[in-house]
Amino acid sequence: MKKSVVLIFLFILTFVACKHLPSLTPHGPNDPPVGGAPCNADTVYFQNDILPIFQSSCAKSGCHNAASHREGIILTDYNNIISTGEIRGGDPSHGNIYSTITSSSSSDIMPPPPDAPLTADQIAKILKWIEQGALNNYCDGGCDTVDVKYSLQVKTLLANKCIGCHNTASTGGGISLDNYSGASSVAIDGRLIGSVSHATGYIQMPQGGSKLSACEIKIFQLWLDAGAPNN
């Protein structure tokens, strides 16, 4: 009788303890992204917000793409970012990703000089994403092509998808897209649309990343059709 009471007590204790364990990653790293609902301003989404940062600023030739994989780290997709980057949901101090992007040392910071460091906004997004569980999630942010402006849709797209490689400090292919002059020149001569639409004869961009959505390509096209104004 006494033995049965002890076993029941241990079962209840185990159940209660397990019930209160946090579950920051409710799906495995190889599962497809979760989401699709309208974006929530309080949530950071991997596919929308985080992956473009890693692909543009880190997953480059000679750095952390699949071919180069410096120090064994590949930052091209969710599975590799989590596993080789040793990211643990809820714990920004785990692994070296967050410490290197926030380092004050020029020999330790990533991306390394002469590449531009991540912006304060990009770092804040990565931190919040990790704190929220480092989930492989996405949302439907809509697509605003009603009144396309350089200062809004175009500049934001370039910042998220392109300037990690094509900035004033590190002009991949001799192209700088972190300023209007550079962006408008490649738009007007056709290289921007040719590359992002993966047209024959152009280098496919983002290099090593996913092709832009039809809506994103349309934003660039509408801006070009209007004469690529600085508006």
Which phi-psi region, left, alpha or beta, contains residue 35 (left: φ > 0; alpha: ψ -120 to 50)? left
Predicted TM-score (pTM) of this structure: 0.67
Q: Domain for residue 8, yes or no?
A: no
Same structural domain, 117 and 160: no
List Cα–Cα distances, 114 to 85, 159, 170, in angstroms. Answer: 22, 18, 6
Q: Domain for residue 145, yes or no?
A: no
Which residue, 140, 166, 188, sits at the end of a domain?
Answer: 140
Q: Domain for residue 48, yes or no?
A: yes
The neighbour count for residue 9, using CB atoms within 10 Å, is: 10
Domain range spanning residue 163? 150-225
Going residue by residue through the chain (231 aa), what tens digit of pLDDT does each one get? 555 544 444 444 444 444 333 334 445 555 667 766 888 999 999 988 898 888 888 877 778 877 778 888 988 889 999 999 999 999 999 989 999 999 988 888 888 888 888 889 999 999 999 999 999 998 887 777 889 999 988 988 888 788 777 877 766 678 888 899 999 999 999 999 999 999 999 988 887 667 888 888 999 999 999 999 999
